[in-house]
Amino acid sequence: MGHFDFSVVLSGEFRDSLVSGFLLSIQLTVFAGFLALPVATMVALCRLSSVTFLRGLGAIYVEGIRNIPLLVHMLLWYFAMPETLPVAARDWLYAHNAESICAVLALTLYTSSYMAEDIRSGIRAVPATQFEAARALGFGYLASMRRVVLPQAFRIVVPPLISPALNLWKNTSIATVIGTAELMYQAQRVETASFRGIEVFGVTTLAYLSVSLAITAIAAVFQHRFPVRT
């Protein structure tokens, strides 16, 4: 059996590379998550709209994005979409970390398409009398949703949203295919340089697992502090 030495990858330049990749993965998750939630909410409202066009638009968004692999989204946003931009915009993008920007866009769209269905289910779970009471008090449609229905719906959808949140964190690893220097990208570089595959990917696995468990724990605390009242 070979001798395992984790200190090799947990010190010096190798450690710095893994830490920078880990932090970038966290940043991708946070940015994409904060962008995906409002997008998903708007898509869910479109799918519940009484306007046929908006319902159709929401359905096209959800089905069109969910049924394309995330890998294809990454490649499309990084290699294809910049070519449609004006030269000045394309040059700006490539000068400002295009890999991370395109990764966030792909992750946002992909994650929001799954979150939208969970949010739609949460909105439908709120009794219709809540919406009717808000309208009776003089609130418009959007105000009724924003002030009465959505706050209740979000408490309901916290458990279902754990799954897309966890997937978002894990899906950041796919950004390595477009050269985003996240955790998996850095792990591959360190493994190539150190020939310490077990140590490198052992540490990487522990990093992904730790954040996944932290997300689950945060959701559990939220559910305990703000229980859904039936």
Distance (Å, rounded) from C-alpha 9 to C-alpha 187? Answer: 10
* Whether residue 8 has pLDDT greater than 80: no
Cα 66 to Cα 87: distance, rounded to the nearest angstrom = 31
Domain contains 1: no
Whether 176 maps to a domain, the answer reads yes
pLDDT for 148 equals 86
SS3 content of the chain, % helix, strand, coil (to 5): 85, 0, 15
Question: 54 lies in a domain?
Answer: yes
Is residue 74 one of the residues assigned to a domain? yes
Higher pLDDT, 44 or 6: 44
Please compute the mean of the pLDDT values over residues 192-199 and round it to a whole number: 88
Which residue range forms the structural domain that includes residue 62? 6-225
Q: Note the pLDDT of residue 1.
A: 44
* Residue 88 domain flag: yes
Residue 144 scores a pLDDT above 60: yes
pLDDT of residue 229: 61
Q: Work out the average pLDDT over 175-204.
A: 92
> Is residue 92 pLDDT above 60, yes or no?
yes
What pLDDT was estimated at residue 2? 54
Residue 42 included in any domain: yes
Least-confidence region, from 43-57, 91-105, 127-141, 202-216: 127-141
Q: What is the mean pLDDT of residues 18-27?
A: 96
Give the chain's domain count. 1
| Angle ∠(213,181,176) on CA atoms, nearest 5 | 75
- Percentage of the chain surpassing pLDDT 90? 64
Q: Judge whether residue 67 has pLDDT over 70.
A: yes
For a pLDDT cut of 70, what percent of the chain falls above it? 98
What is the DSSP track for 97-131?
A: -HHHHHHHHHHHHHHHHHHHHHHHHHHHHS-HHHH
Query: Which CATH number belongs to the domain containing residue 111 in this structure?
Result: 1.10.3720.10
pLDDT score of 200 more than 60:
yes
Closest of 226, 225, 114, 128 to residue 160, by C-alpha: 114
230: in domain: no
Average confidence score pLDDT of the chain: 90
DSSP structure class, residue 213: H
Residues 202-230 have a mean pLDDT of 86
What token pair was written down for 212? 């996944």
DSSP state of 51: -
